Amino acid sequence: MKFALYIGCNIPARLKQYESSARAVLRKFDVGVTDIREFNCCGYPVRNMDHTAFVLASARNLALAARENLSVISLCKCCFGSLKKADHLIKENAALRAEINRILEKEGLKYDGDIEVKHFLSVLFHDIGIKTLKEKIEKPFSDLKIATHYGCHVLRPSKIVQFDDPVVPSIFDQLVEVTGARSIDWPMKLECCGAPVWGINDDLSMRLTEKKLADGDKAGADYLCTACPFCQMQFDTVQQMMRSGRSTDLQLPSVLYPQLLGLSLGIDRDLLGLEMNRLSLQGIEDFVRVPEAVET
Amino acid sequence: MFFTVSLYVALAVFGLGLVYKTSTWFRYSIGIEAEKIPTSVRISAGIKGIAASVFSAKIATLIKVFVLDVILQIKILRQDFLRWLMHICIYIGFILLLLMHALDNFVSSALFTDYYSTINPFMFLRDLFGAMVILGVAIAVYRRFILKVPRLETNAMDYYAIIILAVIMISGVLLEGAKITSYTEFQIMMEDYAGLDDEAAIEALESYWAEYFGVVSPNVKAPFDEDVLSQGQEIHEESCMDCHSRPQWAFAGYAVAKISKPIALALDRAQSATILWYIHFLACFIGLAYLPLSKMFHIFASPLSLLANAVMQKGKSDPANIATRQIMELDACTHCCTCTLNCSAGVFFEHFPNTNILPSEKILSIKYLAAGKPLSADELRHIQEGVYLCTNCSRCTVACPAGINLQDLWFNVRESLLQKGYPEFFALSPLSFYRGLMKEDADKDTYQKPLDQAREAIADTCELMKIQDKILSLSGIDPGFKAGLSRSDQADTFLACFGCETCSTVCPVVASYDNPRAALGLLPHQIMHSCGLGLKDLALGSNMLWYCLTCYQCQERCPQGVSVTDILYELKNAAVEQVKERSNQEKPK
């Protein structure tokens, strides 16, 4: 198995622990990843302004992967959604495809829609598989209640992203439960984290985040779990900023999925970057079941 | 005399330029906060900061950076071996030429008691160093003009740097070649050092030098008689040999001498050696005098930038020193375009015709901005768009071989430009996510302003939104509008909307407000309906567009298969297009 790893813009700048933990997990299961240095922005941030610019940016990434004949793993759900959407448009819309390829041609690139784009979670679930994951679990959690946050752009529009059932998805829950943790039911599981309007309408963004935090807390979650830099920064950095600006005692820290899985796989905690999260993950290791206790 | 005068003039201009440029580091400023710090404070903070860094544990970091990044230039090597080779050749070659050749009276003579430029190893080394620089310049030309890397921009300053280096080096090699063949030079030297009167002896030495030292003589011609040559050799060993190695060692000049042999006499008569000498030293002096104002100033500023950035940190270092550093960084930029080649947003330049999207060009504009050059509204808007169209991925900063903290530069320029009042529509995109994360660093009073301004500018173009009684005449219908919604493959699905309001019911944004109509304008189902009616102003004028999370709940749940979210995307595009068109029309022609 070999993929091109698409880390996007936020992760290398602000969420390095996501990259290092995801790489460590993939290595553990012998999933080879190639880094394509020329990868650029997925286009998601300019989609509000200009459709063609968005498709161009995504298509260039796909063309670069196509040149290496590699499928793409995205760690970010917004990048994933954008790449999938652009791939779909390029396949469906011949005029757009020609327009984009005319620009890409200047760099000797071309994209006709033949590259598979996968989210990191899909690779774990479909390519590695729950069974293989389970075999490598060394330090399972017990009594750890996780509020699994799916993230919008991996689920919807379902016809295009085709990640999981958009109404009753289960992939992420199953992946969380592999670690021994319990993926709890919480009504707002599939709702937006609020990140897309952070910086545009902060008040609205915080309302959405607060609602989710309150809901997760009410459902008894110990931690949120994400697999997207936007969602993670919203629940980590922005939650921390919210606490300083708002009157709320509620704190529900968020753990990145490869950090959670990595702990149960016994991966070196430095690689998982637990200390790099803004809201402390200190307590999470207390939920690791002591091996002796299992035997007795 | 002329040489000395021009040297001192060049040195004086160089010195003044140096003082002037260094003073700008403390006088100019970038960003709202930096403007508030007076020059005097910055100078004293600078002195304190340097002292505090040098006399502390930071000295270890400084030494490490000096060796790895300044001397060995590992940052360039990490990017591209060819570019590293290019730069190492130019700068090592040039520094060694400067020390050994240009400053030979002060350096070479002082270090080596038997120094003569015409004996080995010095003669060979001079050509070796010269060849290194020429190789470097050749790679630079290849990279800039033959490779044609997309988005690698070349400007007048890059041409200047390549040309001045090329002129200095090529004139030097030609001069050497001309002097090897020159009969005039030979005569002068012979008179000064051999003092021969005997015709036969003169002929013998001339023949020997024509045979072995490349002199082209009008009097003697090969093949030479063995006896004449051996007599010439005797005189040579007596008078010349101590100061002259065989010219083949000066391989570059010797090659020129060989090639120019057929026309060497004519060249000598035309005093080519003297002319080339003037060209050579004048080019050097021009290069020296203009250095502080050219991109060659980076030889001072780039090492400083690398060192300063190694020990400085936002939030920890004195803001006065950061303000100074940011201006110094503008001089550290060599326009090598490493930032642009690494830029995650660079691809957008292929679609938006604004060079300020490219970091290497953005920094040039910021130089003008910092120097207080009067810029037109259009230019300011372009720079603002350029600094906003940045994903803040830090790749430019990580890659910059001069160690410039570009990301902080963009941040400060962005915040200060946004206050000039030109609406920035990219502020209404997820590009603002980073600005939101950094809001504790931004001015609290001015943080919100650009966001309101951009939304208001868009709403301002939508007349129907301003009508209070909401009884609309059909005159607002734009017949081309419906057909124009075609960017996305499924945008026209709004035609199937039967007004069930599912989209608005499931929308988390709508659910976040007690009075959504007041906060959002039209709700999603109303916007779909407006599209169906061709009421462009209503479709484009709502805050709903900009507060949409693009969570796709509406689209997923629509029983009629309307691509609500995609249509909202499309309307956002159309709204920005419309406001840009209007502002272009309003511009005085």
Residue B314 has what pLDDT?
A: 87
What whole-number distance in Å separates Cα of residue B270 and Cα of residue A200?
73
Contact between B512 and B491 (Cβ < 8 Å):
no
> Taking CA atoms, what residue in B is nearest to A58?
B347
Q: What is the mean pLDDT of chain B?
A: 93
Contact between B171 and B276 (Cβ < 8 Å):
yes
Mutate to test the interface with B, among A6, A7, A9 (most CBs of B within 10 A): A9
Residue A295: is its pLDDT beyond 80? no
Segment B296-322 mean pLDDT? 95
Other C-beta atoms lying within 10 Å of the C-beta of residue B130: 25
Residue B491: is its pLDDT beyond 90? no
b/e map B397-427, b = 16+ CB within 10 Å: bebbbbbbbbbbbbbbbbbbbbeeebbbbbb
Instruction: Mark yes or no for CB contact B391/A56 under 8 Å.
Output: no
Residue B589: is its pLDDT beyond 90? no
Mutate to test the interface with B, among A82, A201, A211 (most CBs of B within 10 A): A201
> Taking CA atoms, what residue in B is nearest to A45?
B430
Segment A67-95 mean pLDDT? 96
- Reported as a single tens digit per residue, the pLDDT across B273-284 is 999 999 999 999
Chain A neighbors of B429, CB-CB under 8 A: 45-49, 200
The tally of CA atoms less than 13 A away on the side-chain side of residue B455 is 18
Instruction: Mark yes or no for CB contact B432/A9 under 8 Å.
Output: no
Name which residue leads in pLDDT, A171 or B533: A171
Residue A14 has what pLDDT?
A: 97
CATH of A135-295, one of 2.60.120.260, 3.40.30.10, 3.40.50.11810, 3.90.420.10: 3.40.50.11810
Chain A neighbors of B348, CB-CB under 8 A: 41, 46, 53, 56-57
For chain B, give the percent of residues with pLDDT over 90: 85
Residue B428 has what pLDDT?
A: 97
For chain B, give the percent of residues with pLDDT over 70: 97
- Reported as a single tens digit per residue, the pLDDT across B134-170 is 999 999 999 999 998 889 999 999 999 999 999 999 9
- Reported as a single tens digit per residue, the pLDDT across B160-218 is 999 999 999 999 999 999 999 999 999 999 999 988 888 999 999 999 999 999 999 99
Residue B442 has what pLDDT?
A: 82
Segment A56-80 mean pLDDT? 98
Segment A20-25 mean pLDDT? 98
Chain B neighbors of A48, CB-CB under 8 A: 428-430, 546, 569, 572-573, 576
| pLDDT range class, residue B475, cuts 50, 70, 90 | low
Classify the phi-psi angles of A113: left when phi > 0, otherwise alpha if psi is within -120 to 50, otherwise beta: left
Chain A neighbors of B547, CB-CB under 8 A: 197, 200-201, 204
A41 touching B (Cβ < 8 Å): yes
- Reported as a single tens digit per residue, the pLDDT across B385-429 is 999 999 999 999 999 999 999 999 999 999 999 999 899 999 999
Instruction: Mark yes or no for CB contact A191/B551 under 8 Å.
Output: yes
Cβ neighbourhood burial of B1 (10 Å; 0-12, 13-18, 19+): exposed
Q: A13 to chain B nearest CA, in Å?
A: 5
> Taking CA atoms, what residue in A is nearest to B576?
A49
Segment B19-26 mean pLDDT? 97
Q: B555 to chain A nearest CA, in Å?
A: 7
Residue A296 has what pLDDT?
A: 44
Identify which of B393, B439, B550 has the shortest CB distance to residue A196. B550
> Taking CA atoms, what residue in A is nearest to B341?
A38
Question: CA B246 from chain center: how many Å?
Answer: 44
The tally of CA atoms less than 13 A away on the side-chain side of residue A92 is 12
Domain ranges of chain B: 180-276, 338-457, 462-586
Q: Does domain B462-586 have CATH number 1.10.1060?
A: yes
CATH code: domain A2-120 is 1.20.1050.140
Residue A292: is its pLDDT beyond 70? no
Instruction: Mark yes or no for CB contact A51/B573 under 8 Å.
Output: yes
Residue B538 has what pLDDT?
A: 86
Residue B121: is its pLDDT beyond 70? yes
Q: How many contacts, defined by CB atoms under 8 Å, are there between A and B? A: 176
Identify which of A39, A93, A241 has the shortest CB distance to residue B440. A241
What whole-number distance in Å separates Cα of residue A239 and Cα of residue A242?
5
Q: What is the mean pLDDT of chain A?
A: 95
Residue B469 has what pLDDT?
A: 63
Domain ranges of chain A: 2-120, 135-295
DSSP code, position B519: H
- For residue A223, which phi and psi values (nearest 5 degrees)? -145, 155
Read off the pTM: 0.94
Residue A291 has what pLDDT?
A: 62
Residue B29: is its pLDDT beyond 80? yes
